[in-house]
């Protein structure tokens, strides 16, 4: 499997991010999307067998994100994303569970990640409660050697409250982690790695290292009786 055509198309799209260019290069887009779809299908096959049984029965279309930008979150006048991405979670890309993510983008911007980005308030409250009640388990997971080999920067700290969340003491020894609004790890890959035939296996290896962390989040978010 070779993602070179995906990188090449996305590089051209970044330089010509407008509807007229996309319309003129629709065939190129469909070829690149077909290659990315095959890549995601292989990830689903591997992950459902070795990582998360809840992915069984999902198709690439269930987990792939659209290339069109969502106007509600658009921060520029470019109509298309500069990457092709997918979120592998039980229930599909928009489900509320923590899961596994990959986005291919040229220029060394390809990333692989895992966890839950900006969970809903009720989910976030349950995650914080679990960290508060079970801090040793949380810290063991976030400091796990296998996780840090794959994701050297550890948890993304960019989404965080400025003070302790409601109901928690600012002097709590775990306040740094309770303030987080997202619980996510990620790493980037250079284009040369993305072109490698074993890139899907390398993505799975990173996700496997994050599996205990993802399970911790999903167990924390699970409502009683579910």
How large a percentage of the chain has pLDDT more than 90?
A: 93
Question: How do the domains of the chain map onto residue ranges?
Answer: 4-221
Q: What is the per-residue pLDDT across 153-196, written as a single tens digit (0 to 9) for each? A: 999 999 999 999 999 999 999 999 999 999 999 999 999 999 99
Tokens of 138: 């949380």
What was the pLDDT predicted at 225? 41
pLDDT at 74 exceeding the cut of 70: no
* Tally: H helices and E strands in the chain: 10, 4
What was the pLDDT predicted at 2? 81
pLDDT at 210 exceeding the cut of 50: yes
Compute the average pLDDT of residues 11-20.
97
pLDDT at 226 exceeding the cut of 50: no
Compute the average pLDDT of residues 57-82.
85
Average pLDDT, the chain: 94
Paired with 114 in beta bridges are 100, 185
pLDDT at 23 exceeding the cut of 80: yes
Confidence of residue 77 (pLDDT cuts 50, 70, 90): confident
d(CA 184, CA 66): 21
pLDDT at 217 exceeding the cut of 90: yes
pTM recorded for the entire structure? 0.93
Question: Which residue from 97, 89, 98 is spatially nearest to 56, judged by alpha carbons?
Answer: 89
What was the pLDDT predicted at 72? 52
Question: Which residue from 150, 207, 198 is spatially nearest to 39, judged by alpha carbons?
Answer: 198
What was the pLDDT predicted at 71? 58
What was the pLDDT predicted at 75? 62
What was the pLDDT predicted at 70? 74
Compute the average pLDDT of residues 114-141.
97
Q: In the 8-state DSSP scheme, what is residue 170? A: T
From the number of C-beta atoms within 10 Å of its C-beta (0-12, 13-18, 19+), residue 36 rates as: buried
């Amino acid at each position: 499997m070779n993602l070179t055509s995906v990188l090449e198309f996305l590089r051209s799209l970044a330089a010509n991010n407008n509807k007229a260019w996309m319309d003129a290069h629709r065939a190129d887009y469909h070829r690149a999307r077909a290659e990315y779809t095959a890549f995601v299908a292989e990830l689903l096959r591997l992950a459902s067998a070795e990582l998360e049984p809840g992915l069984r029965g999902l198709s690439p279309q269930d987990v792939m994100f659209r290339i069109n930008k969502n106007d509600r979150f658009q921060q520029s006048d470019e109509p298309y994303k500069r990457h092709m991405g997918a979120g592998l979670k039980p229930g599909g890309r928009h489900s509320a569970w923590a899961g596994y993510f990959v986005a291919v983008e040229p220029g060394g911007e390809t990333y692989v990640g895992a966890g839950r980005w900006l969970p809903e308030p009720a989910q976030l409250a349950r995650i914080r409660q679990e960290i508060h009640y079970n801090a040793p388990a949380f810290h063991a997971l976030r400091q796990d050697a296998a996780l840090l080999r794959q994701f050297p920067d550890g948890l993304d700290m960019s989404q965080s409250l400025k003070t302790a969340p409601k109901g928690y003491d600012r002097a709590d020894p775990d306040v740094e982690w309770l303030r987080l609004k997202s619980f996510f790890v990620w790493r980037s890959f250079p284009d040369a790695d993305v072109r490698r035939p074993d890139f899907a296996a390398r993505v799975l290896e990173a996700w496997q290292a994050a599996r205990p962390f993802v399970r911790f989040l999903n167990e924390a978010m699970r409502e009683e009786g579910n």
